[in-house]
Amino acid sequence: MCGIVGIFATSPVNQSLYDALTVLQHRGQDAAGIVTEKDGMLYLRKANGLVKDVFHTRHMQRLQGNIGVGHARYPTAGCSSSAEAQPLYVNSPYGVVLAHNGNLTNQEELKKEIYEIDRRHINTNSDSEVLLNIFAHELNKTVNDIPTAEDVFSAIKAVYRRCKGGFAAIAMIVGHGMVFFRDHYGIRPLVFGKREVNGTTEYMAASESVALDILGFELVRDVKPGEAIYIDGHGYFHSRQCTPLNEPAPCIFEHVYLARPDSFMDDISVYRARLRMGEKLAEKILREWPDHDIDVVIPIPDTSTTSAVELANILNVKLRHGFVKNRYIGRTFIMPGQQIRKKSVRQKLNAIDLEFKDKNVLLIDDSIVRGTTSQQIVEMAREAGAKKVYFASAAPAVKYPNVYGIDMPSAKELIAHGRTTEEVEKLIGADKLIYQDLQDLIDSCREGNPNINRFDTSVFDGNYVTGDIDDEYLAILEDKRNDFAKSKANNIVDVDTGDSEIEDMIELHNVGEG
């Protein structure tokens, strides 16, 4: 669930990349990075931390050039080391920089191929480095001094033949252009847009359309599943369907939780999809619990607020904002360890007692994943004086790991895995728990774009759209990515950078400390 952005312009892009990353910050708070290019020279700044903390004036002044790539990271693989912060770089051929969102499900097999067949070295545990090296290796097969659009598309076709999983990527080929591409099923999001400046067309690609909006780019469309788009060194636009066109299966959890409400994904308004989620959930409550005694609906800020507004309206019950959010605490869902999550919930939210005292409250959240937040919020509502605390989720029960780039890898860490609704209800301490039905969630999103017949709903139903996930894979994934494994990995000292900071100037075919 990283945020990626790339801009091909006629004027300096450093500030634009920074601004884009600030509105994609919700997609990753572990690390941030920008690479720009000018006259065959690459300029890099990346480090652990939020965008506003990583980039200072001196860094921005160094990021020269009219073309660049940015990345906001949260780790689903590897560890929270700045060595795995992106964008990543290899010097051959030409010099290639890549920013990636997603997860390659066959990365272990690919690592072996890269070492034994491609004769390339992988220096981190990041599958992004795997994707970068495969693209670079395939691009290296071109016989032209200057890569043509056909050369680039040929390399991307080979990437699709070799790589499985969910991924969206933006790559710069130093001195020659920028390419962006999306996985076979369009699981991970990627949009592109353009704007006219003094008679010249500038291009931009990003994880979410909101990044284009704030910079004045017109949203053209989503990158299609299996499509690559190449902007060559002269600014000419090329596109190619590099795989047989599969039926799109975008990640439905983007609409539930990950994306900003002011974004469009696959021609679906995230905001309107969440309104419909609230509508469907209200209809379920009226159907299954017509004699409810709910006095007030209280959303858990911020993602669930949109759904809660529509739910309260249909139930004809007051909506009150009973929790005040500390805006300077990160999203607890993407905190790297369970202990940090537990601590941060109380730091992030504070209850307004007046809205809870002597009332039967219905709390609305976008989803329940590990249950840590839900349990503590129910406790907070009771401490604030609520008579009864009901809990509703705008999404179905999350029962299965995600393998396409969202940090919910261990089934044992999912509170609903192997449990009934009543068991989860008891664990979080609610008087009643209501989940959204899966078909209602699908209908809520599909109504925005009837041309999408399928979504990736694997976290709810265990059906993995790529068809390559089995119990053995999930067991290996769980061992590598559970909270204990992450805590152990993140205790390793980063001996390469020491201060968890990377600030390099990369010259074509040469890397030197900045």
Q: Cα(415)–Cα(427) distance, rounded to whole angstroms?
A: 8
Per the listing, tokens 């590897």 go with: 78
Token code pair at residue 193: 């847009």
User: For residue 334, how many other CB atoms are within 10 A of its CB?
Assistant: 19
Reference 354, options 434, 302, 295; nearest CA is 295
Q: Cα(511)–Cα(479) distance, rounded to whole angstroms?
A: 35
CA dihedral 276, 277, 279, 283 (to 10 degrees): 140
**SS3 assignment, position 79:** coil
Write the DSSP symbol of residue 38. E
Q: What are phi and psi of 8, to 5 degrees?
A: -115, 105
Cβ-in-10-Å burial (0-12, 13-18, 19+) of 470 comes to: exposed
Residue 344 and residue 322 in contact, taking contact as beta carbons nearer than 8 Å: no
Residue 336 and residue 80 in contact, taking contact as beta carbons nearer than 8 Å: yes
**SS3 assignment, position 316:** coil
Reference 282, options 444, 460, 458, 416; nearest CA is 444
Residues carrying an active site annotation:
2
Residue 360 and residue 386 in contact, taking contact as beta carbons nearer than 8 Å: yes
DSSP strands (E only) in 66-164: 67-73, 88-90, 96-104
- How much is the CA Rg of the chain, to the nearest whole Å? 23
How far apart, in Å, are the Cα atoms of 415 and each of 178, 399, 424? 42, 8, 7
Q: Helix H segments across 163-269?
A: 209-214, 253
Token code pair at residue 239: 């596109």
Q: Cα(243)–Cα(241) distance, rounded to whole angstroms?
A: 6
Q: What are phi and psi of 133, to 5 degrees?
A: -70, -35
Q: Cα(242)–Cα(158) distance, rounded to whole angstroms?
A: 9
Contacting residues for 186 by C-beta, under 8 A, at least 6 apart: 222, 223, 224, 225, 248, 249, 250, 266
Per the listing, tokens 């201060």 go with: 499
Reference 86, options 131, 51, 34; nearest CA is 34
What amino acid occupies position 485?
A
